[in-house]
Amino acid sequence: MLMPDALSSETVVEVRDLTRRFGDLVAVDQVSLTVGRSEIFGLMGPNGAGKSTLIRMLTTLLPPTSGAATVAGYDVVRQPAEVRRQLGYVPQLLSADGSLTGYENLLLSARLYGIPRKERAERIARALARMDLAGAANHLVAHYSGGMIRRLEIAQSLLHRPKVLFLDEPTVGLDPAAREIVWHRLLDLRESFQTTMIVTTHRMDEIDEYCHRVALIDRGRIVATGTPAELKAGIGPGATLDDVFIRLVGAHDDHETEGEYGAVRRERRAAQKHG
């Protein structure tokens, strides 16, 4: 039996000098980090800092300009198909299809991930039960609440039992009760399967409570990394993560980035749908 907080030293995600440019803009600038098995790793930083771009490179959606990264030992550029088999991804946007039922969404995932026909029904039923969605399995997702949609998305990204789960703002637009349910389900999964999780969030309280380590990203670079306690201690006694954020990133919100208008629009639309 693994202790709930036992972190093994096995490296699951390794990032070396990863860089992505969009024209003149350097969205991710020589980022390096390692994340171990069953670790919950937080990514925080202002809008447009490069968190989502970093995740899109690690999930093989976007090729890096330079640098390298491995997920579960596979190279994201040279072995994208193997990487995809090892990861689950809950994007900031909606990934569950509203015009299908919860069950149909999971069936689609099961087929895409090549889960053998004999195992499909059982795995889907278990995933639904685990996420408290068994009763709503045959309802259209368009009628789900924001919290239910998130839990369904977690279920569909876990059917194939990935080694690493990427979550891009998993609790955006959710009320406190729904947020807590989502996090408790995630902790549950980690305990059962030792799933590594990489999570972006704007909520300092979530980082404090749930992340083992966190990287603060600003303008594409990692400006600090460590446990939440270490980051706070680095600022001074009694400091909060808000203080860390403000001290290290500053109050600049005047940087122009490519496509942030679109990102904000999508984010708000996603938040609206989830809420």
Chain residues binding another protein by CB under 8 A are 56, 59-62, 81, 84-85, 87, 89, 91-97, 99-101, 104, 107-114, 116-117, 140, 156, 266, 270
Nearer to another protein, 156 or 257 (CB): 156
Query: Which residue type sits at 39?
Result: E
Please tell me the distance from the alpha carbon of residue 184 to that of residue 180, in angstroms, as a whole number: 6
Both structure tokens of 248 = 């290290």
Nearer to another protein, 38 or 95 (CB): 95
Tell me the closest approach of the beta carbon of residue 81 to another protein, in angstroms. Answer: 6
* Dihedral angle computed from the Cα positions of residues 172, 173, 175 and 177, in that order, rounded to the nearest 10 degrees: -40
Nearer to another protein, 52 or 225 (CB): 52
Please tell me the distance from the alpha carbon of residue 192 to that of residue 189, in angstroms, as a whole number: 5
Nearer to another protein, 108 or 137 (CB): 108
Q: Considering only CA atoms, which of 123, 115, 112, 183 is closest in space to residue 155?
A: 123
Tell me the closest approach of the beta carbon of residue 54 to another protein, in angstroms. Answer: 14
Q: For 29, list phi and psi in degrees, rounded to 5.
A: -120, 100
SS3 3: coil
Nearer to another protein, 94 or 235 (CB): 94
CB atoms within 10 A of CB 203: 16
Please tell me the distance from the alpha carbon of residue 83 to that of residue 240, in angstroms, as a whole number: 36
Both structure tokens of 80 = 């994208």
